[in-house]
Amino acid sequence: MSALDSMKAELDLHGRSPNTQQSYLGCVSRFIQYYQRDPEDLGPSEVRAFLLHLKHVRGIGASTLKVTIAALTYLYDRVLHRPEVMSGIPRPKVISRLPAVLSGTEVDELLTAIDSILHRTILLAAYAAGLRISEACALQVADIDSRRMLLRVQRGKGGRERYVMLSRRLLDALRAYYRGTRPAGPYLFPGPHSGSHVDRKTLYHPLAAAAKKIGLDKRVTPHVLRHSFATHLLEAGTDLPTIQALLGHRSIRTTARYTHVSRRRIAGSQSPLDLSIEDRQKLLG
C-alpha cells in the first residue's frame, strides 16, 4: 500500500471530514509529485525545499502553507511514524483578517439574482441558519423539524451535531423547492451519483455571477453568508454564547471576532473626543 493510500485509510479511521481528507491528500499528492519519490525516502531538508518552492515560486499564501504543513505533519507523524521530520519546521504566521460581511439588503438582492432554484435554496439555507456551505449541501429531509421550527446539522465541523433555527421564509423556500424537484433519497440536494449530495464547489460560480449581476463590488463566497448571518444576529441583539452555539464554534473567542465587524456596535460607540468638557474631566481625568 502506498503512503497516500495509507494516509487515506488513516484519515478515514480518524473520522476526519471529507473536506479535510480531500485537502490533506491533495497537499501530500503535490509533495509526492514534486519529488517523484516515496515520502518515506524524504526528510526535513526536502520538506523545507518544497515549502520554499510553494512560497517563492508558486506564490502560495500563509494560510495554504499552514494547511500543507498540517497535511505533511499528519503524514509523517501518524502514517509514517517519523515525527522528527516535521518537528523543526516553522509554522507561518497567518494574518488575522476580519470576516467580510454583507448588509441585509445586499443579501436579499444577491439571493434574488440567483437563477437556479437549487443553488438559491442552498445559499438561502446557508444564510438563514448560519450554515457552512458543506453543511447546507448535506441537509436531509429528516433534518427539517417544522413543528419545533428547528434544523438539525448532523455533520458539523469536528463531527459535532447541533440544532439551529428554522426560518419561516426558509421553510417556505424548502417546501417550494421540494414540490418542484421531488429529490430522491435522503438528501434534500442530491448529487449526480446515487446516495450523494451536491458538491459545495458548484455554489461558488453562481454566487459570484449573481454578485456581478447586481454590481456588488465585494468578493462574495458562500462563507460570507455565514459571516453575515452572525454579524446580523449580533446587531439585532443576540448574545455571543447563543451565536456560538448556532455557528457550532468550539471556542467563544472565534465568535467574538464578529464584534469587530458589527457596524451598529462600532458606529454606536461615542468617541472620547465628543464628550463634554465636564464628562471628559470626570471620566478621563
For cell 525516502, the residue is 41
CA torsion through residues 39, 63, 92, 57, sign: positive
Residue 242 in domain: yes
Domain harbouring 209, CATH code:
1.10.443.10
Q: Is residue 94 domain-resident?
A: no
Instruction: Kindly state whether residues 256 and 193 are assigned to the same domain.
Output: yes
Structural domain contains residue 207? yes
Identify the CATH number of the domain in which residue 11 sits.
1.10.150.130
Same domain? 9 vs 78 = yes
Asked if residue 52 belongs to a domain, the reply is yes
Q: Are residues 74 and 130 in the same domain?
A: no
* Residue 82 sits in the same domain as residue 144: no
Q: Are both 166 and 247 inside the same structural domain?
A: yes
Same domain, 196 and 241: yes
Residue 67 sits in the same domain as residue 119: no
CA distance 207 to 222: 7
Same domain, 126 and 71: no
- Structural domain span for residue 177: 104-266
Q: DSSP alpha helices (H): ranges in the chain?
A: 3-14, 18-35, 44-52, 62-74, 84-87, 104-112, 117-129, 133-137, 168-181, 204-213, 222-235, 240-247, 252-256, 263-267, 277-284
Q: Is residue 276 domain-resident?
A: no
Cα 240 to Cα 252: distance, rounded to the nearest angstrom: 7
**Is 275 domain-assigned?**
no
Angle (CA) 243-249-252 rounded to 5° is 70
Within a domain: 282: no
**pLDDT of 28:** 95
Coil, strand or helix at 62? helix
Whether residues 126 and 248 share a domain: the answer is: yes
Q: Is residue 69 a contact partner of residue 23, using CB atoms and an 8 Å limit?
A: no
C-alpha cell at 205: 460560480
> Last residue of some domain: 30, 55, 87?
87
Do 12 and 131 have their domain in common? no
225 near 253, Cβ under 8 Å? no
| Residues with active-site annotation | 132, 157, 223, 226, 249, 258
Residue showing cell 413543528: 147
Quote the number of domains for the chain: 2
Residue 198 falls within a domain, yes or no? yes
d(Cα 219, Cα 196) in Å, to the nearest integer? 29
Q: What is the pLDDT of residue 96?
A: 66
List the chain pLDDT tens, one digit each, 285 residues: 788 999 999 998 888 888 889 999 999 999 999 999 999 999 999 999 999 999 998 988 888 999 999 999 999 999 999 999 999 999 888 776 777 889 899 999 999 999 999 999 999 999 999 999 999 999 999 999 999 999 999 877 767 789 999 999 999 999 999 999 998 879 999 988 888 899 999 999 999 999 999 999 888 999 999 999 998 988 888 888 999 999 988 888 888 888 777 666 666 655 564 556 676 566 555
Q: 212 and 143 share a domain?
A: yes
Same structural domain for residues 72 and 165?
A: no
Task: Among 87, 116, 134, give the residue marking a domain's end.
Answer: 87
